[in-house]
Amino acid sequence: MSLVLGHWSADWLVLIPYSVIVALHLTGFARMRAAAREPDRDLARQAAVFQAGLAAVLIAFVSPIDYWSGQYLWIHMIQHLLLVVVACPLIVLGAPWLVVLRAISRPVRQRLGRAVLLEGRPLAIRRALRGAARPVPVALAFNLTWWLWHLPALYDLALRYTAVHYLEHATYLATGLALWLQLIGSHPWSPPLSPLRRAPIIFFTAVSNWVMAILLGFSTTPWYPAYAQVAHGAFSAGADQQLAAAVMWVGMEPSFVVALVFVLNTWLREEENDLSALLRRPRTSGWH
């Protein structure tokens, strides 16, 4: 029972940004609804999905999950998955960008626009940053981040130092959001790759996770000394690690399977629309 009811935390480094983002989003949502001539159900649905994504981030940090993640590796893995395959895709699907901008004053919006467009920056820097935001570099950055933070040295470092732990989670969120933007898009932004060309990125990421889960689960020695030294009671460190591997495997794959089904369905619909347009095109006779 204490696993569920005990050890909630008031982490102000999480609660303050969460409250600010929620306030901006709800303010922008209210202004957009007031300006609309009739209720926009898609806008309301997206707002609910975005708030659910923010709630997943909050649960990962202030609920007992955060406390027990220092005691059990498998719970720490749940925390990571909450961020990467629950919060990130929900935030992207929620498409909060225009809604939040609506809550900000026009001069601030203009400055943000210039910053996003990299106005005033050297051409070489703009080309480098835009190149880094392409689908393949983003996918590589996400997978590299996932692997690096699960290396024993960095994993234990994050457990020992709070600042490193925050950096770990911040990079998960940043690269996770970037990856899901490339996979499913987020209004008004559309992925640069066609649906069929996004499928290999999803498959590569899923396979990368499978490999890590297999290595972790079948290892005969604990990977992380910090968890090997924790008193697990009836739970051995080896069993904890095996369960963490199972959580990684089973927990991450459904989201990528859904993403794969989504992109393939999008591709089929586009092909069907192209075929329908071709069939509707008036035929011209070759006789004059």
From 6-15, 35-44, 52-61, 230-239, the region with the lowest mean pLDDT = 230-239
C-alpha span between 265 and 271 (Å, rounded): 10
Q: Are 134 and 196 in contact (CB under 8 A)?
A: no
Which residue reads 């820097």 in tokens?
Answer: 125
Q: What pLDDT score does 116 carry?
A: 57
Is 264 exposed, middle or buried (CB count within 10 Å of its CB: 0-12, 13-18, 19+)? middle
Instruction: Count other C-beta atoms under 10 Å from residue 63's C-beta.
Output: 16
Contacts for 192 with CB less than 8 Å, ≥ 6 apart: 134, 135, 182
Mean pLDDT for the stretch of residues 184-210: 90
For range 157-174, the mean pLDDT: 92
Convert the pLDDT of each residue in 6-42 to its tens digit.
678 878 889 999 999 999 999 999 998 888 776 678 8
- Bridge partners, 189 (sequence order): 186
Which pLDDT belongs to residue 106? 76
Mean pLDDT over residues 117-139, rounded?
Answer: 64
Q: Which residue has the higher pLDDT, 176 or 4?
A: 176
Phi, psi of 189 (to 5 degrees): -100, 135
- The answer, yes or no, to whether residue 132 has pLDDT greater than 60, is no
Banded pLDDT at 173 (limits 50, 70, 90): very high
Tell me the average pLDDT across 190-198. 88
Q: Where are the domains of the chain?
A: 2-280
Residue 123 is predicted with a pLDDT of: 53
Q: Confidence band (pLDDT; 50, 70, 90) for 287?
A: very low
Q: Which residue has the higher pLDDT, 195 or 171?
A: 171
> Of 62, 198, 70, which is closest to residue 135 (Cα–Cα)?
198
Q: What are the tokens at 41?
A: 């159900």
Question: Which residues are 186's β-sheet partners?
Answer: 189
Give the type of residue at 288: H
